[in-house]
Structure 1
Amino acid sequence: MTDNSHKIIDFRVRLPEALRPDIDVPKENSLQYDAVLGTSDKFGASQTTEALLAQMEAAGIDHAVVHAEYEVGDPADALNQAVADLVNEYPARLSGIGTISMKDFSIKNALRQVTECAERGMIGLSIQPAFFGMTINDKLLYPIYAKAIEHNLLVALHTGVNYTMNKPMAGENPMLIDEVCCHFPDLTVVASHAGWPWIAEMVAVARKHPQVYMEFGGLSPKYVGAPGSGWEVMHRFMNSVLSQQILFGTDWPVMDHARVISEWKDLGLKPHVEQALLGGNAKRLIKKTSLNK
């Protein structure tokens, strides 16, 4: 990624659907996601690399971080290879975050995948524990966290609500990140989706652990500033003491780039906070996790 202090960086986009292995998604996984977020109209073969780059260009997005989303037992190795190939094709526009196999979880296999992600130049791992009956602080994940530190990889953890009908969301309460960071103070954590509805807890964890970042992909920023939305504590603290720990994200194609940027700009954040959110913090984090790669 070339140097530019005013870059806009989307810290969370999905691997274009056209590049993902074709698998059957159980109805209980997709039904409520579609009802809440309209995913059936947004996902599909039309979501190509060209579509992503065109939307980024139109919205003034300089760089994006592509996540290998492992949600229903997808072939993680194939996802990681697809992300690596995409980033290698567009290194100035894209960085990559890989994943590990969570279905039929094997520590040995997951550790191999962590090492391979580092060897492929990824900046981190994306893990969604609750989708597989695990918790953020599950001790089975501790070797993964340790290996991530060894390879200078951040770990992006799904936090807050999930709309999978048969998977409880309690395992992704951001309070559980506190225990993980107490045991792994050198681990850089990105709390994907910023932990709603546990916003006070998310703010407390980030205030305690400066290596915890909050990424806002997949949500409409207008609600962050809306009274009664549950985001009020976040809105106050992100505009002050947590300004260096916030990351702009869309979860493309879930959210449109231009819409999300417009809504953030309408929130009236302090100018330096808005700049940190939209790219400054992400630039620093990408540089940190790209060292020695």
Structure 2
Amino acid sequence: MIIDYGATPPIPELSLSNGSHLANYRRVYAASETAAERGQMTLDDWFAAADEAGIGLTVIKGRDVETTFGGRVTNEAVAEVVRAHPARFIGFAGVDPNKGMTALRELEYAVTELGLRGLNLQCFEHRLAIDDRRMYPLYAKCIELDIPVNIHVGINFSLNSSPEFGRPMMLDRVLCDFPELRVCAAPPGWPWVEELLAVAWRHPNLSIGLVAARPRLLAVEHSGYGALLQYGRTILRDRMIVGTAWPMMPMKRVIDEVRALPIEADIADRWLGGNARAFLRL
């Protein structure tokens, strides 16, 4: 089964309530975000497109950026979507590290009461470094709850935050302090791809999410993604996890581009589902 590690289906409650800080993303992804995909596709249409792509399960993620940008995708909304379609979705919680103990309590409630299966942290939206001390209680809580954490790594295109919040080497310091923490770094680190690969090579609990980056670029010379292909088909073949980032990219195109890469079929299968299944402990 193909597992899409990150998409936002056309359900209003899953859209960030205030996403003005992400306006520049619409320019960057204008070529792939079609009007039909962004605003005219029903949920039934979306399920049909997922079926056509062969996707059986999709990870949906909460977000809380109220302190910095005044927006939120609530954990309750994510849990309700999962409850309505349990065979199609798995949910991650979103909390705001700037809220201190409130964030810790919300995370525990989201996991123990709402049934969410991981934590999503978009550090650039919190304007916090990955290794900021305000993040550490949440990392400890993830270990206590035995859940993985998704951490945004690499450049962001918001002109209201800094790309420096996504430097992979900060993640190395976190994993040295929390060696039991299960992390997926997504997107895959550009323009610090080799730095992220070095961190993943050092830490066996770190996976790399090939999300919001066209898979075909891994085979394009000088794209900056080529090292992912080399390491992803060899020593890190068990730690590459694909997500379509829909509506940023069409689902079937992402899956087809992974299949077209110069990798063995069994490795493509790992990228498209097997690795996610292990990471999520399904």
Asked if the contact 2:19–2:71 (Cα under 8 Å) also holds between the matched residues in 1, the reply is no
CA distance in 2, matches of 1:70, 1:52: 25
Shift of 1:106: 1.6
What is the 5 A alignment of 1:99-178? Answer: 99-102=94-97, 105-119=98-112, 120-178=114-172
Shift of 1:244: 0.5
Matched residue type, 1:73: G
Asked if the contact 2:17–2:72 (Cα under 8 Å) also holds between the matched residues in 1, the reply is no
Asked if the contact 2:7–2:244 (Cα under 8 Å) also holds between the matched residues in 1, the reply is yes
What is the 5 A alignment of 1:1-293? Answer: 7-14=1-8, 16-20=10-14, 23-26=17-20, 29-38=21-30, 41=35, 46=40, 48-70=42-64, 72-76=69-73, 79-102=74-97, 105-119=98-112, 120-287=114-281
SS in 1 for 2:134: helix
Shift of 1:264: 0.9
CA distance in 2, matches of 1:209, 1:42: 41
CA distance in 2, matches of 1:151, 1:46: 39
Shift of 1:193: 0.8
RMSD (Å) for aligned C-alpha atoms = 1.9
Deviations 1:202-227 (A, max 9, x none): 10111111110111111211111111
CA distance in 2, matches of 1:36, 1:277: 25
Deviations 1:166-194 (A, max 9, x none): 21111111111100000001110010111
SS in 2 for 1:65: strand
SS in 1 for 2:81: helix
**TM-score using structure 1 length:** 0.88
Asked if the contact 2:123–2:129 (Cα under 8 Å) also holds between the matched residues in 1, the reply is yes
Match for residue 3 of structure 1?
A: none
CA distance in 2, matches of 1:108, 1:48: 38
CA distance in 2, matches of 1:275, 1:81: 32
Asked if the contact 2:120–2:150 (Cα under 8 Å) also holds between the matched residues in 1, the reply is yes
Asked if the contact 1:188–1:212 (Cα under 8 Å) also holds between the matched residues in 2, the reply is yes
SS in 1 for 2:281: helix
Matched residue type, 1:91: P
Shift of 1:43: 7.2
Asked if the contact 1:75–1:101 (Cα under 8 Å) also holds between the matched residues in 2, the reply is no
Shift of 1:48: 4.7
Deviations 1:219-268 (A, max 9, x none): 21111111101112111000100001010101111111110011111112
Unaligned runs of 5+ in 1: 1-6, 289-293
Identity %: 30
Asked if the contact 1:15–1:69 (Cα under 8 Å) also holds between the matched residues in 2, the reply is no
Asked if the contact 1:42–1:253 (Cα under 8 Å) also holds between the matched residues in 2, the reply is no
Asked if the contact 1:107–1:144 (Cα under 8 Å) also holds between the matched residues in 2, the reply is no
**TM-score using structure 2 length:** 0.91
Asked if the contact 2:8–2:14 (Cα under 8 Å) also holds between the matched residues in 1, the reply is no
CA distance in 2, matches of 1:23, 1:122: 20
